[in-house]
Amino acid sequence: MKQIVQFLAIATLSFSFAGCSPSAEKTERSNQAGKDTGAEKKGTIAYSPLTLSNPFFKVIGDHIKSEAEKNGYETLMVDPDMDVKKQSDQMDDFISREVTAIILVPCDRLSIGPAVKAANGKGIPVFTVDAKCAAEGANIAGHVGTDNYQGGKLAGKAMIKALGENGGKVLVLDFKKANSCVLRVNGFKEVINTYNTGRSDGKI
């Protein structure tokens, strides 16, 4: 377990320093040998992101695959395409395959709870990336992500600086399916609303 945690942390953090890949295949299985030639595979690391149509999650998957191979594991990468039911079914498939560990970007932080608990019951560790699982009783072995609320606040401060004293109109594109996006928007709005309080002109 300790070794799995170490390489998962490396894999999920290292994508931050990588460029985005182009288009993503919907399902990908890695059967290539690891760098330790001749070594038997230790098991399979399964990955179900929010969607593979977003290069961000494809980059994470590529690094998981790379680190898995270095450490003697196969990878199973699937695409739920932001469908909660599909992701839950994928989790059931991971469990039936008896994978070594599951890396998950929840399509819904609450609805995925039963699937996570099912994996817990089989002794399969579940790790989350970017978005946390908030379901009561679901045991998450580890989480790698950023402070999205703080990121939104930083974006708000940057917007204030960019527009200056004249202010202006800003279009905010929201994506309520992704809790990470909701947090960023809320952080952004907090800073902007505070800035606008008491101002008669130059509002944003």
Q: What is the CATH number of the domain that holds 65?
A: 3.40.50.2300
Residue 203: inside a domain: no
CB atoms within 10 A of CB 23: 8
Mean pLDDT calculated for residue range 95-117? 95
* Residue 159, CA distances (Å) to 148, 151, 189 in order: 16, 12, 11
Evaluate if pTM is beyond 0.75.
no
Q: Are residues 119 and 184 in the same domain?
A: no
Mean pLDDT calculated for residue range 49-78? 92
* Number of structural domains in the chain: 2
| Sign of the C-alpha dihedral computed for residues 117, 119, 123 and 124 taken in this order | negative
Residue 204: inside a domain: no
* Domain ranges, residue 163: 148-196
Q: Are residues 41 and 131 in the same domain?
A: yes
- Model confidence over 154-185: pLDDT tens digits? 999 999 999 988 888 888 887 777 778 888 89
CA angle, residues 189, 131, 57, in degrees to nearest 5? 105
CB atoms within 10 A of CB 118: 17
